[in-house]
Amino acid sequence: MKRVLAAVAVMVWAASFARAEDVPACVAPAYLLATESTLPKVAAAVQGDKRLNILVIGSGSSALAGSDGVAASYPARLEAALRERLPGVAVMVRTELRPKKLASEVAEGFSALLAKWPQEQKPALVIWQTGTVDAMRAIDPDDFRTALEAGVTTLQKAGTDALMMNLQYNPRMETMLSVSPYNDTIRVVAQEFEIPMFDRFAIMRHWNEAGDFDLFGPVHGLGMAKRVHDCIGRALATQIIEAARINPAELRIQR
């Protein structure tokens, strides 16, 4: 099992670093970002005191190596994209990494995690990136669903919006892991609680098939990984703005 997990981890990172020399278009199709669920806390924060705090709870794929890894990771790129598109709004995106933790283990810590922030810094939105570790350890999908439901319930009781993010796409990983049950479960729970889901898996697969990135290629360095994270950050910003029903043009008029 350890060898399988190690092999999968290498494949994920290898795919992320492929074709570093190419500059991708990486446009996420509108249908993959569309959601009927809304983010009322985000809308209130933007339209009220013009301060938007977001917390990303993720695993190793939320971060990047290197001296500029933090600034190049998708949470940082999300923050930059939101600041650019929401003029006059003070945007802060924080990241809490829970590497190698199951969804159940992460969910158990939500209450304590949210309680540590002062009221003025409490997040209006929590983005929960999950599924990879559970898939690697072949956790029963029903147990995975129970963990997700418990976690989202905790977040909503704490008064924050929630957004689910599924696994990242890797064509090699699909040959070793059964990822569909976990992606499907995340989607079902998001629908159950009427919260948005960022379909990272389908979006990255689209980019791979469109030729924006070669996620099956050999390792070439950190360049492509940074561009993938930048693309994810910008696509995520689009979904958040649309789910919150925010019109950036109105914010520019109000300034």
In DSSP notation, 19-33 reads TTT-----PPPHHHH
pLDDT at 221: 56
Residue type at 173?
M
- Maximum distance among all alpha carbons in the chain? 57
Q: Would you state the pLDDT for residue 13?
A: 39
CB of 8 within 8 A of CB of 179? no
Q: What letters, b where the CB count within 10 A reaches 16 and e where it falls short, cover 34-55? A: ebeebbebbbebbeeebebbbb
219: confidence class by pLDDT, cuts 50, 70, 90: low
Task: Report the number of secondary-structure helices (H) and strands (E) in the chain.
Answer: 13, 5
Confidence of residue 66 (pLDDT cuts 50, 70, 90): low
One-letter amino acid of 107: A
Percent pLDDT > 70 in the chain is 86
Tell me how long the chain is: 255
As a whole number, mean pLDDT of residues 232-247 equals 97
pLDDT at 100 over 60: yes
CA distances from 64 to 33, 61, 83 (A): 24, 7, 21
Q: Which fold has domain 2-254?
A: Rossmann fold (3.40.50)
Mean pLDDT on 26-36: 95
What pLDDT is attached to residue 10? 38
Beta partners for 54? 93, 125
Tokens of 61: 């794929």
pLDDT of 198 over the 80 cut = yes
Q: Are 89 and 123 in contact (CB under 8 A)?
A: no
* 245 vs 120, more confident: 245
Full-model pTM: 0.87
Q: How confident is the model at residue 1 (pLDDT cuts 50, 70, 90)?
A: low
Q: What is the mean pLDDT of residues 97-115?
A: 94
User: How far is it, in rounded angstroms, from Cα 155 to Cα 36?
Assistant: 20
Strands ordered across the beta sheet of 51-58: 90-97, 51-58, 125-129, 161-165, 197-198
In the predicted model, what is the mean pLDDT of the chain? 87
**86 close to 46: Cβ distance less than 8 angstroms:** yes
Amino acid at 243: A
pLDDT of residue 205: 93
pLDDT higher than 50, residue 5 = no
- Residues 132-141 have pLDDT tens digits of 999 999 999 9
At 62, the pLDDT band (50, 70, 90 cuts) reads confident
Spatial contact of 161 and 40, defined as CB atoms under 8 Å apart: yes
